[in-house]
Structure 1
Amino acid sequence: MPAVRPPTRIGTAVVLPNLHKPAQLAEDAAVVDLISGGRLEIGFGAGYRVPEYDLFDADFSSRFKQVERNIAEVRRLWEEGGVTPGPIQSPVPLWGGFYGPRGARIAGRLGIGLLHISHEMYGHYREGLFEGGHDPELARVSDLLPVILADDPEAAWPRVAPHLAHQMNTYRQASVEGTGRPRPPLLSPGDFPETPKADGSWSTLEILTPEDAAVRIHERTNGLPVKHLIFWASIAGMPDDLVVRNIELVSERLPALLAESRAAAGPRPAKVPAGG
């Protein structure tokens, strides 16, 4: 008899609670959890664009204090019945989509998952867990991996690189709007490295075979309490045939290879702060 797969989870990565009323966000999320049969996971973030905050009359300079307060308020509304109907899940799995030390500690203090795979940030996350009085054994991490799978990465790279340049230029230009800072120079396809960085960290984007991806992912996640991985389906409108093949390889080939990679390498302990 074939194995029964668990129900597919759905979620956000990320929604910005600072641009919503907590009650509105709590109620909307509860409805989604009800409609989906209890399959919702929510990734929260602080955002990075000044114009978005200006549109909602929100204070960009205090966004990290606000996001911590608003996430806590959403959870309180669910726990105390402040909105009805409530979600099916209790609790709804929450994630903090933060890439820096301050955000990692916020996720820890709140006792939610960290939506960033990084051994360095994991240390700050655990510090936050201790600070918030949470059991460090409840730590969990996830992330959107900068990986596209292809049968022939060398052939795929020049077809994807222009789309990656467009994506990165869009983010880079948007990040300085409303700040008074000069616009960064536009990137071109030739500005991206085609091989992993020397320190083993992720490049901006890596196009890999499923076999190589399994090894890289194991190297980057070993010792961390990874619950699931998130992948790009497409990079800024890249060619359809590459999109379809990427989805096929991620969903049909990669899971078994990751399991084999973990079994072959064996676990290594995570690096934790001295206080942990």
Structure 2
Amino acid sequence: MDVGLLFDLRNPRQWHRPWADHYARSLEYCEEADLRGAGGVWFTEHHLFDDGYLPQPLTFAAAAAARTRHVRIGTSVLLPNLHHPARIAEDAAVVDLISGGRLELGLGAGYRVPEYELYGADFKRRIDQVGDNVREIRRLWDEGGVTPGPLQSPVPVWGGFYGPRGARLAGRLGIGLLHISQAMYGHYRAGLTEGGHDPATARVSDLLPVILADDPEAAWPRVAPHLAHQMNSYQQGSVEGTDQPRPPLLDADDFPQPPAADGSWSLLEILTPEDAATRIAERIRGLPVRHLIFWASVAGMPDDLVVRNIELISERLPVLLAERLGTSLAGAAAGG
């Protein structure tokens, strides 16, 4: 099991910096994470966001692969229904070759109508289509349908799916489930059996809504405006192109949220490394976790908080998780 950082490259108007500077700084963060021992850097995909949400994660992943030496290079997630599967197979193979075999390919269906309209894709069939595209990408690699092929054989592929249907789909496809949930894990294992795959090959990973800070109470007023922007863009974007009403806008004063009675995560938790390790160990114990992924930054939050978050996630958290899970090495924890 390793810990990594997710980059979405948001650059909101309120805190805007020149785009070239913003991309350069984000690559420096990737290098910093690599040097400090993080297990992965991950990139995600959306289109038509006002804040410039990263639209082409494999392009940025190639740049990060060339600037790093050790971290896994992942997508969490790429939207295959918006691209030709041969193009994904080729682009992903190039990233794997540049990185020396460090690619983790996370794929998901997406949820926004305007993105599907932009690419002329069928939103209503998105779940079935993502399964078809996963199969086709892997077929192209396995049969030499694109050249050159990836270095890894096989490339680790992940399904960023939610709910019982998505968990079973990931299992039937024989790929990892990019969602950590005790409730969904049974559906995932059932899908593995249905697809003729050994349930012992089960593996899960996830993005956890956690930022680390030495003093969470002091960090919250500085992060809350950025979190409000992030959540508003997600929630407003989810109803674009539909007849659903727009949800009410969140404000910085709405955060932090009170802890849930069942111990589940809020929209974001700002925690010390010690508290985060305790919470995470409770959540993942007994699951075959390979990657824990954390936000590197929330919608352009202050650089000093980003740098410290990267430091704590890369250096401090793995040690604490190893202690909480009773292993000698974080890499041996939770079946990883």
TM-score, normalisation: structure 1: 0.91
Q: Residue 113 of structure 1 is aligned with which of 144, 155, 176?
A: 176
1:157 matched to 2:220: yes
1:144-166 CA-partner distances (Å, limit 9, x unpaired)? 11001111111111211111111
CA contact (8 A) 1:195 1:206 kept: no
Counterpart for residue 311 of structure 2: 248
Counterpart residue number, 2:149? 86
Equivalence for 1:133: 196
1:96 maps to which of 126, 144, 159: 159
Q: For the structure 1 residues 5 and 167, does the alpha-carbon distance in structure 2 shift closer, same or farther, using more than 3 Å as the test?
A: closer
2:205 and 2:291 in contact (8 A); partners too: yes
The 3 A distance-change label for structure 1 pair 5 and 49 is: closer
2:294 pairs with 1:231 = yes
Residue 132 of structure 2 is aligned with which of 69, 74, 77?
69
1:49-99 per-position Cα deviation (integer Å, ceiling 9, x unaligned): 101111121110110000001100100010011111111100000000112
The answer to whether 1:43 aligns with 2:118 is no
Identify the match of residue 248 of structure 2 among 167, 173, 185. Answer: 185
Q: Which of 202, 206, 211 is matched with 1:148 structurally?
A: 211
Identity %: 77
One-letter amino acid matched to 1:222: R
Gaps of 5+ in 1: 271-276
In 2, Cα distance between equivalents of 1:89 and 1:80: 14
Moved over 2 A (4+): 4-7, 189-196
Structure 2 segments unaligned to the other structure (5+ residues): 1-36, 40-69, 328-333
The number of residue pairs the alignment matches comes to 263
Match of 1:21 among 84, 98, 109: 84
What is the CA RMSD across the aligned residues, in angstroms?
A: 1.8
Work out which of the residue numbers 166, 171, 174 in structure 1 matches 2:229. 166
**Separation (CA, whole Å) in 2 of partners of 1:98 and 1:218:** 22
In structure 2, distance between residues paired with 1:231 and 1:261: 18
Output the TM-score relative to the length of structure 2: 0.75
CA distance in 2, matches of 1:195, 1:251: 27
Letter paired with 2:223: V
In structure 1, C-alpha distance between the alignment counterparts of 2:208 and 2:238, rounded to whole Å: 21
Tell me if the contact between 2:38 and 2:313 (Cα under 8 Å) persists in the aligned partners: no
Q: Which amino acid aligns with 2:209?
A: P
The Cα of 1:133 is off from its aligned counterpart by 1.0
Deviation at 1:189, TM superposition (A): 2.4
RCO comparison, higher one (Cα < 8 Å, 6+): 2
Shift of 1:241: 1.3
Aligned counterparts of 2:310 and 2:106: Cα–Cα separation in 1: 22
